[in-house]
Amino acid sequence: MMKVWMWPKSSELNFYNNLLTDSLCGVGIDIQDLKHGKLFLKVGKAKPGDIVHIHWMHHAYQNRNPLLFMVKSFLFMMTLVYLKLRNVQLIWTIHNLYPHNVKHHKMERFMRRLICRFCSKLIVASESIKRKVIAEFDVPAKKLFVVKHGHYLGVYKRNGLNIREKYNIREDADVYLFLGAIQAYKGVEDLIEAFNAVKTKNSYLIIAGKADQEMTAYLKRVQDMDHIILDLRFIPNESIADLISAVDVMVMPYKEITTSGSAILGLSFKKLIVMPNNDFIEEYFKEDMVVRYDPAEDNGLKNAMKVAVNVKNEDKSPNYDEVLKELEWSTIAEQIKNVYQGSG
């Protein structure tokens, strides 16, 4: 049986890895857990012919101190050399072109270019990311395999909480939702400004997620918070379905985006999404599922939020089932198995 050392095999913060692991086990692959922080201890157990499949590896070498960054990078590269010499296949799923908070950009770019050379194969979730990786890290196209991000259908269960009742929101109100970690690159400042420009007596914005220090300070300074509901904590998995089901539109005003797990979560709940125009939309969504805007335009987000309410009120019925069928985990598992076996 093919043995794959997955880093990580599961995650409490994101069900993606759990779903991927379960689906790969379903097609006959033995998945071992290469936990964060245990890389150096566990790689010695990998045998020739095994696969090490890494998702987010920057934690292993990054440091705010440039000297420590270099030392950790050297140790990490020596680990990859060791695996290469033992004839262990290295595969990296590149979820983002760069981590969201990069302090030493040149060093990060150098490391990513180097890691791409060490890996035998690279997996990306869209053709648009594939083009960016080829250009940014000078990777030959034949090394890259496009496998879509799977859906979240049935993952989050309703818990029976009436969110609208909890926040005294009328059933006929228009409700926007921002869900996820609240950090500067997520564009929450732009969202609040746009909402305050378009809001009516019958519209609300829920901002739900854990805010970092910078964004917590910003939210305390905002003057006009009328009809804006803040739930500033890590939203537990058992609350996700009730929260998303209660809203009309999910807004993702991200300042940088490659493939968004949040967008696929919204898609899985068949929710209308507002997000900046990007190539990823074409590959995952169909008409009337997304209202896109140009973030360079002053009123881009504001106008998109207005349009989204109109689209919602027209009660259109996009073919979500057709789109979600393409994101079945069983299909994705077979595609990744083919990548592992070299016939991707």
3-state secondary structure 252-268: CCCCCCCCCHHHHHHHH
**What percent of the chain is modeled with pLDDT above 70?**
96
- Mean pLDDT over the full length of the chain: 92
pTM here is 0.91
Q: Which residue type, as a one-letter code, is found at position 37?
A: G
Sort strands 272-276 and 290-293 into parallel, antiparallel or unpaired. Answer: parallel
- The rounded distance, in Å, linking the Cα atoms of 286 and 187 is 24
Minimum mean pLDDT range among 29-43, 46-60, 77-91, 229-243: 29-43
Q: What is the pLDDT of residue 10?
A: 87
Question: Residues near 292 by Cβ (< 8 Å), separated by ≥ 6?
Answer: 274, 275, 276, 277, 278, 281, 304
Beta bridge partners of 230: 207
Token pair of 289 as six digits: 């599922």
Q: What are phi and psi of 219, to 5 degrees?
A: -65, -30
pLDDT tens-digit profile of 174-201?
999 999 989 887 899 999 999 999 999 9
Residue 252 contacts residue 263 (beta carbons within 8 Å): yes
- The rounded distance, in Å, linking the Cα atoms of 127 and 336 is 16
Q: What is the pLDDT of residue 115?
A: 96
**pLDDT bracket for residue 344 (50, 70, 90):** very low
Token pair of 227 as six digits: 């009809």
All structural domains of the chain, each given as residue ranges with its CATH number in brackets, are 3-150+328-341 (3.40.50.2000), 163-325 (3.40.50.2000)
**pLDDT bracket for residue 38 (50, 70, 90):** low
pLDDT at 323 over 50: yes
> Bigger pLDDT: 268 or 1?
268
